[in-house]
Amino acid sequence: MTNIVNYLLESAAALALFYLVHRLFIANRTPFAWQRLFLLGGIFFSALLPLFHISLSPESPLAAFPHLLLDPVVVSAGSNVESATGAFSGYSPADAGIIPSMLYYTYWAGVLAVTALLFHRIFKIIQMRRVGRTHHHGQYQLIALDRDTPTFSFFNQIFIRKEEMKDPQTRYYILSHELVHVRRLHSLDNLFAEMVSAVQWFNPFIWLLRRELKQVHEYEADRAALDRAGNVHQYTSLLFRQTFGIPHISPVNHFHSSIKKRLLMLRKSKSITDPTRALIFIPLVVALILVFACSEKTNKNEQPQKQETVTSKEAGAVSQQKDQKSKGQIDTDDVFIAVEEMPEFQGEGVAGFRRYIQQQVTYPEEAAEKGLEGNSFIKFIVNTEGVVENIEVARSSHEMLDQAAIEAIEGAPKWKPGKQDGHKVKVRFTMPVAFRLSDKQNR
């Protein structure tokens, strides 16, 4: 998985692009239902885009063969050993040296604040439901309120002031409008946009997209309600009569929100007949995948993918091992990648071996002085006697760093050998060792 900084930046860039394309090509030119799909699809895809990775490397046709890549060991020049996942998960800025700690904690404080505000608003809606008088009407619930609160809907609950229920015509228009929100699940859209906003709170484009989505909801509801009511003058008069200055409650749809724009769209909506504009979503998605998700080569600053290119000889061995297993034949000279009984290290499995290496490996002083850091991938075999042998570099970071990792693995005690069909066999592992300079040294 990409680290948190890459995730946020790629997602933010995608959100910005979707917003700009919507404003330039989609808004006010496409039917409201298609605008809604474009906005929702853009927000959803932007949240998923950084998680995609498509390798275009010509050296990877054999990468689908099975292998065993251990979790990484992280070595710091400042404190020798760090968390085993920090440099690769990317969620600890102290490990990877990506962003200052203060900025890191500020981001998570913002996430918590926006999330807390969302829960507070939902709690207010729950309180309103408790104090209001509920009328059940099959697919929805009508909740009459004494307080000065705007009419709004939240899922299948419609909140309305008692004064507005007294006039049959007003009640009819309002309910016609709010039932569109209920039936088309607009509250689900809003809740999803709110959750993405909590993650991308620092990004102005998610707030702009969320506002666009809410406006499209209102345009949809206005058009459907007006088609049902049929009287434009009475409907627009009702909008004008709504009370302004009432506190906003999110993530709900308000009947009186954005009245000026809604009146303009009521006049224009009949002429919006070009749904094909929304199909720009498809080439936009393809372009974003090509830019952010495809790569020909692993960047040294990115976490390595848990994949290892095997040689044709090793690939042939894997295929041969499958054939032998199906025939019940085992050659103890073959090197296996996964067996029925995996090797055990000191009774703690591979996790115990990782802890052992963490205690043994030391950041070379000369490498630290020269500011060298990187990820060394070391291959080794646990043979039929449980001895570590054939230690070699699968992917190099720097000769000094590679050697430090090899020396730590060379001195390892015996393992309990792996077994296949009751026979002791050789098993190959790959150990990533991440060498990271401390923040102080990086500065």
- Predicted local distance difference test score (pLDDT) of residue 137: 87
Work out the number of other CB atoms within 10 angstroms of the CB of residue 351. Answer: 12
Domain C-terminal end among 211, 230, 256: 256
Please report whether residue 276 resides in a domain.
no
Please report whether residue 174 resides in a domain.
yes
Q: For residue range 48-66, list pLDDT tens digits in order.
A: 988 776 544 444 433 433 4
Assess whether the previous peptide bond of 251 is cis (omega < 30° from 0). yes
Please identify which residue in the block is written with the tokens 């997602």. 11
Question: Domain range holding 111?
Answer: 100-202+222-256
Shared domain for 349 and 242, answered yes or no, is: no
- Predicted local distance difference test score (pLDDT) of residue 59: 44
Please report whether residue 172 resides in a domain.
yes
CA pair distance 23, 377, nearest whole angstrom: 47
Please report whether residue 272 resides in a domain.
no
Shared domain for 198 and 105, answered yes or no, is: yes
Tally of domains within the chain: 2
Shared domain for 251 and 162, answered yes or no, is: yes
Please report whether residue 302 resides in a domain.
no
For the ranges 48-52, 200-204, 361-365, 427-431, the maximum mean pLDDT occurs at: 200-204
* pLDDT over 60 at 115, yes or no: yes
For residue 184, how many C-alpha atoms fall within 13 Å in the half-sphere facing its CB? 23
CATH number where 85 lies: 3.30.2420.10
Residue 90 CB contacts under 8 Å (≥ 6 apart), including other chains: 1, 2, 3, 4, 5, 6, 7, 96, 98, 303
- Predicted local distance difference test score (pLDDT) of residue 86: 42
Q: What is the mean pLDDT of the chain?
A: 77
- Predicted local distance difference test score (pLDDT) of residue 381: 92
Shared domain for 119 and 92, answered yes or no, is: no
- Predicted local distance difference test score (pLDDT) of residue 250: 55
- Predicted local distance difference test score (pLDDT) of residue 66: 43
Please report whether residue 55 resides in a domain.
no
Please report whether residue 332 resides in a domain.
yes
Q: For residue range 9-44, list pLDDT tens digits in order.
A: 889 999 999 999 999 998 888 888 899 999 999 999
Shared domain for 226 and 357, answered yes or no, is: no
Shared domain for 114 and 250, answered yes or no, is: yes
Q: Kindly state the greatest CA–CA separation across the chain.
A: 90
pLDDT greater at residue 294 or residue 210: 210
Shared domain for 347 and 364, answered yes or no, is: yes
R_g over Cα of the chain: 30
Name the residue among 44, 53, 36, 48 with its Cα closest to residue 293. 53
Show the tokens assigned to 412: 């390892």
CA pair distance 313, 319, nearest whole angstrom: 10
Domain C-terminal end among 231, 256, 281: 256
Q: For residue range 257-279, list pLDDT tens digits in order.
A: 566 677 777 666 666 667 788 88
Please identify which residue in the block is written with the tokens 């709010």. 178
Show the tokens assigned to 6: 């890459």
- Predicted local distance difference test score (pLDDT) of residue 122: 94
Work out the number of other CB atoms within 10 angstroms of the CB of residue 284. Answer: 19
Confidence at 208, pLDDT banded by 50, 70, 90: very high
- Predicted local distance difference test score (pLDDT) of residue 320: 53
* pLDDT over 70 at 47, yes or no: yes
- Predicted local distance difference test score (pLDDT) of residue 305: 38
Q: For residue range 159-198, list pLDDT tens digits in order.
A: 988 887 787 887 888 888 889 999 999 999 999 999 999 9
Shared domain for 252 and 104, answered yes or no, is: yes
To the nearest whole percent, how much of the chain has pLDDT over 70?
Answer: 71
Domain C-terminal end among 256, 278, 300: 256
Among positive and negative, which fits the CA dihedral 91, 97, 101, 106? negative
- Predicted local distance difference test score (pLDDT) of residue 443: 40
Please report whether residue 317 resides in a domain.
yes
For residue 277, how many C-alpha atoms fall within 13 Å in the half-sphere facing its CB? 21
CA pair distance 201, 212, nearest whole angstrom: 16
- Predicted local distance difference test score (pLDDT) of residue 253: 58
pTM value > 0.85:
no
Shared domain for 156 and 251, answered yes or no, is: yes
Shared domain for 237 and 335, answered yes or no, is: no
Residue 382 CB contacts under 8 Å (≥ 6 apart), including other chains: 343, 388, 415, 417, 418, 426, 427, 429
* pLDDT over 70 at 295, yes or no: no
Of 148-162, 300-314, 322-336, 355-369, least confident by mean pLDDT is 300-314
To the nearest whole percent, how much of the chain has pLDDT over 90?
Answer: 29
CA pair distance 287, 283, nearest whole angstrom: 6
Shared domain for 188 and 159, answered yes or no, is: yes
Shared domain for 314 and 179, answered yes or no, is: no
- Predicted local distance difference test score (pLDDT) of residue 354: 85
For 385, counting Cβ atoms within 10 Å of its Cβ (0-12 exposed, 13-18 middle, 19+ buried), the class is exposed
CA pair distance 421, 325, nearest whole angstrom: 8
- Predicted local distance difference test score (pLDDT) of residue 52: 74
What is the rounded average pLDDT of the residues 331-344? 80
